[in-house]
Amino acid sequence: MPEAVLRRRRRSGRRINLFLWLGALLLAAFVVLAVLGERIAPYDPNAQDLFAMLEVPTSAHLLGTDNVGRDILSRIIVGTRFTLSIALASVFFAGIGGIALGSIAGYFGGLTDRIVTGVIDLLLTVPNIVLAIAIASVAGASATGLTIAITASFIPPLARLVRGRVIELMAEDFVAAAITVGMGHTRILLRHILPNAATVIIIELSLNAGQAVLIGSALGFLGLGVQPPAPEWGTMLGASREYLTLAPHLVVAPGIAISLLVLAFNAFGDGLRDVFDPASTT
């Protein structure tokens, strides 16, 4: 029996690392594309070539050209920057907002907790993409508006997660000890509670980043995100809709790019969870 358990552990151990590494590797590749952008793109992403419109993939244009003859490969490469920076920025700000609200509610409890939890519970009843659309309609259709919209839709669930973890940790002896020796609230929160909540938060943020890519590209697709001619992937897909019959190849590349990036974040998050929180997996 112990032999079987060990074998199972070894086997699952290999798979876990595979996920984590696959995700990390893919993410690193996307970061390289985002940083280098124009420097490695074969063409100017916005240069039109009216003699080469809607071309299928050739050796000159590896992924073909769009309706005004722009090179799709170059647009995908340069577009990485938009999608990746919107996803990372919204996850970063949602992280700050969610951690702040969640830890204040969980740590102080009482009335503060009831007010914060009340507002969070209300916002959780609005489907996140609907909330993002409503906020994007107010904040304006741009990369900034999109980031605000996605951030706002991620804060409530994250705050709830952090609050739960903080309340759990408050019951630990080391927190009671810290209170007894007279440490300040800020120090207890920052030094003793949040570091212990970090794993849960990082895993959640990594999975949120995948969601952010999906929501961001959906809003771009709907015309509520980054505006054309910027080569954001969702926006590109929105523009390619009209050419579905004429040039279906336009639809393929941006969709694969989005899926790969989401896959990278998901694999990374799942891998992290398997490594740090094995109890949650079956």
Partner 1 sequence: MIGFVARRFATIPLVVLGVVTILFVIFKSVPGDEAAFVAGATATQAEIEAVRVQLGLDQPLIEQYVRHVSGLIVGDFGYSTTFRGNPLPHIINRLPATLALAAAAIGLTILVGIPAGVVAAAYRNRLPDYLISLSVVGLLAIPNFWLGMLLIAWLSVDLGLLPSFGSSGPASLVIPTLALAARLIALVARMTRGVVIEELRKDYVRTARAKGLSKGLALRRHVLRNVMIPTVTVIGLQAGYLLGGSVVVERLCAWPGIGDLLLTAVSVRDYTLVQAIVLIFVVSFLTINIAVEVIYRFVNPRLRYA
Neighbouring CB atoms inside 10 A of 275's CB total 15
Per CB under 8 A, 147 contacts partner 1: no
Total residues interacting with partner 1, rule: CB under 8 A: 46
Q: How far is the CB of 181 from partner 1 (least distance, A)?
A: 41
Q: Which of 33, 194, 262, 272 binds partner 1 (CB under 8 A)?
A: 262
User: Which one of the spans 28-36, 71-79, 183-191, 234-242 is the region binding partner 1 (CB under 8 A)?
Assistant: 234-242
Q: Which of 50, 186, 245, 279 binds partner 1 (CB under 8 A)?
A: 245
Q: Which of 59, 125, 180, 186 binds partner 1 (CB under 8 A)?
A: 125
User: Do you find a cis peptide bond into 157, omega within 30 degrees of 0?
Assistant: no
Token duo for residue 91: 């996850």
Per CB under 8 A, 106 contacts partner 1: no
Neighbouring CB atoms inside 10 A of 166's CB total 24
Q: Which of 30, 82, 107, 221 binds partner 1 (CB under 8 A)?
A: 221
Q: Which of 95, 98, 145, 210 binds partner 1 (CB under 8 A)?
A: 210
Q: Which of 68, 109, 259, 275 binds partner 1 (CB under 8 A)?
A: 259
Q: If you search the block for the tokens 């209300």, which residue do you land on?
A: 122
Q: How far is the CB of 179 from partner 1 (least distance, A)?
A: 34
Closer to partner 1 by Cβ: residue 126 or 202: 126
Q: Which of 224, 226, 230, 272 binds partner 1 (CB under 8 A)?
A: 224
Q: If you search the block for the tokens 């003793």, which residue do you land on?
A: 192
Per CB under 8 A, 258 contacts partner 1: yes
**Neighbouring-strand partners of residue 186:** none
The span from the CA of 238 to the CA of 240, in Å, is 6
CB 160 within 8 A of CB 97: no
Amino acid (1-letter code) at residue 43? Y
Per CB under 8 A, 263 contacts partner 1: yes
Q: How far is the CB of 258 from partner 1 (least distance, A)?
A: 5
The enclosing H or E element of 236 equals: helix 233-240
- DSSP codes of every residue in 9-76: HHHHHHHHHHHHHHHHHHHHHHHHHHHHGGGT-SS-TT---TTSTTPPP-SSSTT-B-TT--BHHHHH
| Residues of the shown chain interacting with partner 1 in the complex, contacts defined by CB under 8 A | 118-119, 121-131, 133-138, 210, 214, 217-218, 221-224, 234, 237, 240-241, 244-245, 248, 251, 254-255, 258-260, 262-263, 266-267, 281-282
